[in-house]
Structure 1
């Protein structure tokens, strides 16, 4: 564009010079004026051509760097959206990591504390029909979560669209789940086990969240699985977590039967006043 303008300016100047020359420069004064005008016009045309060349060189340099270093280009709308989406995903990965670290720390602390000085608890009464699938589903849940945290591309195909507001709601749910987990395990104390069997020195717990529901730990686990699924938008985490919760729900009647055998009438009265997973209305 600038080259066209410069060439046009040069042509106009040349025509003007030609017209002046054609108009005649016969007498002395008129001749000097004509020569001066011709010189000025020629000089202006030269200046325009020089500026045009300079602009073209600058544009050529910019075009070279634009082609050579694409990262330096001004980001378009799609690139800005992609960058914003990437930043949001990273924020949720950090949030999921924080939730997993806190939940694992809470669970390990209370499990080690409960096992201290007590003989190991047998898993025979749980049975392989529930025990093995439950632990395999738990393993898939952990592996899916770890893959989402350190290698998200491996589980990208299992991602589902979830509105950003719902994902942030998942963070709030995770906080609720962590608080309930800590409250539950603190109330449970040394009675904590990872199976249906109770410890030899077990006591019937009816305080804390156990005042309203008989299995608040499973409720906390459900909240954390739901929260992690919403934040990660990953079906592997969601489906494996749902399988874990389903197997726990199937195992619960067996667990309560053992508690009835252990505590008798006291547990039956406790059942009458509380709900299994939700408070009794």
Structure 2
């Protein structure tokens, strides 16, 4: 009240947050300040709030899915490379100890267009199911729909598939979805997107014991990804016997016991291995 400006202005937010910080430090307690988020996912209003606090947590989730993610985008006294996965139940939020197992538990068998991708969120490896549906378009312009992945990235990968592999998708509708309502922006899902699209287009199912990971470049090459050992360990833990990885990652892999590793250089080679069974 001693500040004349209106509620929500920079001076009010600064003074209010400062008082909360003094109370927290004096009493040795943690205080949560809840702020609004814009449609783009950034903090609404003055960014001053982010600079003053010690930690900024984003609580993410789809309206019609029970899964929730907690990410640390700023942490003054710890790592931001952590991710919490929770499920909303009758009793409230319950932590998922093994989210990968739950998210891929309903994967259909012997169905084209479905593949397991190995991704890393923060420092936590996760296996997710990528689904694609490719069908002839009924209109002049083919429809492209992407849920859980970047739409522009999908458009780029479709162009690479046409130019470098020769798949004629220009007259096909393409629908992409990551099961569970989770959004992933990590580049290592590129290979999974391409394999799922090629699988649906050719109507050839991907072996359910195979997982894939790798970033795809504009020339059709499959580029190295980070935390390859963690990805392989997560696949072995959940019973996968084969994983397709970039060849540049293969040199640093030490423990190959219990899983067959297929290194690939380019998209054509990866598609031939996964959909054709040809390892050459």
Shorter-chain TM band:
under 0.3
Relative CO higher for 1 or 2, CA cutoff 8 Å, sep ≥ 6?
1
When normalised by structure 2's length, the TM-score is 0.21
Richer in strand (by share):
2
Larger radius of gyration: 1
When normalised by structure 1's length, the TM-score is 0.21
